[in-house]
Amino acid sequence: MVIDLSPFYGATTPFDRLFESLWPSMAISQRSMAYPPINIGEDDENLYVRCEIPGMDMEALDLTLTDSSLVIKGERQAVKGKYYRQERPTGFFQRVVNIQAGVAREKVSATMRDGVLEVVLPKSDESKPKKISIEPV
């Protein structure tokens, strides 16, 4: 195991910031400032948004569902003390998840367990694929 206590560990240089501003990464997984990290998945019945927010209370989170997006907002309070390194972000955060399918709004649910927020967005009947049978003429 390697523990790096150098003061420049993970720091970006002015050249790195310039390069990233000119050619921003398009993949969510490559964004350095995207917080909290999320996974988005689906099956035939539901869309799933899983979000890692360790140490947060459910009461400190605000979830809002609009016609085309899910907004996850909150604020992580800074713990007072002397730090040698602080890598977990503090302060206000917001993530917007664009939803491209119809959602049955009355059936949406959210749970939080072990620092993972899971939002289940059931697909509406209109957005589910429908098998069309072909009848002989």
**CATH number for the domain harbouring residue 81:** 2.60.40.790
Q: What's the pLDDT score for residue 62?
A: 94
Domain that holds residue 99: 36-127
Residue 16 lies in a domain: no
Does the pTM surpass 0.95? The reply is no
Residue 135 lies in a domain: no
When divided into structural domains, the chain yields a total of 1
Model confidence at 4, pLDDT cuts 50, 70, 90, reads very low
Residue 60 lies in a domain: yes
Query: Prior bond to 36 cis, omega within 30?
Result: yes
Mean pLDDT score across all residues of the chain: 81
Q: What's the pLDDT score for residue 11?
A: 60
Q: What's the pLDDT score for residue 1?
A: 36
